[in-house]
Amino acid sequence: MKRWMLQTAKNRFSELVDRAQNEGPQLVTRRGTEAAVVMSMADYRALSGATTSDLVSFFRESPLGEVPEHYLRRTFDTGREVTL
């Protein structure tokens, strides 16, 4: 992993991003201490498990997508009557 001093990373940010996409994650240091890692979006998604599916697809693919419809009916019970 290539190391970049913060000032150099700021001055050559476009190159930093290009290298992250082509060569892998890039380490940025501040005053000699590791401060951040710049990585491609593909690497980030693989690492975090992030998906690009929409909410409807998410629910269709979930285990609840196979729940029978009668389990999802709403009851219209208004509760008990209370006299004041």
Would you list the domain boundaries of the chain?
2-67
CA atoms within 13 A on the CB side of 14: 0
Q: The domain 2-67 is classified under which CATH number: 2.70.70.10, 3.90.950.10, 3.90.1150.10, 3.40.1620.10?
A: 3.40.1620.10
| Residue in the structure block whose two tokens are 């285990």 | 63
pLDDT digits (tens, 9 = 90+) for 38-56: 999 999 888 887 666 678 7
pLDDT confidence of residue 33: 96
Interior/surface letters 51-61, b for 16+ CB within 10 angstroms, e for the rest: eeeeeeeeeee
pLDDT digits (tens, 9 = 90+) for 60-70: 777 766 766 66
Q: How confident is the model at residue 71 (pLDDT cuts 50, 70, 90)?
A: low
Do residues 35 and 9 touch, judged by C-beta distance below 8 A? no
